[in-house]
Amino acid sequence: MEPKIVNKDDFLYPHGRYYGQVKPENLVFNANLQEFAHKVSYVCSLETGGKFAPEEAYEQIKALWKQLKSSKKQLKIGEDPFKNQEGDTEE
């Protein structure tokens, strides 16, 4: 039996299954969230191993957070599509 060849990217960046409400924007945000978690894990490991200063790790995680927050805003995750600008529900 031949050994299964594993793709390097699949090994380094595994993606978990999505169990939430299946909408394109939710799937995209879930992928972004998983990528955020992987990158934060790497930054934490590098800081723990002495490769990054704590301040540098903090700044990198802060930048990753801003990217995730921007993604959420662009995808309109958590927003009510039936609310107008004033926050009232349209009828």
Q: Where are the domains of the chain?
A: 22-73
What confidence score (pLDDT) does residue 88 get?
59
Per cent of the chain over pLDDT 70 is 89
Asked if residue 34 has pLDDT above 70, the reply is yes
pLDDT at 78 (0 to 100): 87
Nearest Cα neighbor of 13 from 44, 37, 48 is 37
CA-to-CA separations, 88 to 36, 70, 75, 76, 91, in angstroms, rounded: 33, 24, 21, 17, 9
The model carries a pTM of 0.76
What integer pLDDT is reported at residue 16 of this predicted model? Answer: 83
| pLDDT tops 60 at residue 90 | no
DSSP 8-state code for residue 76: T
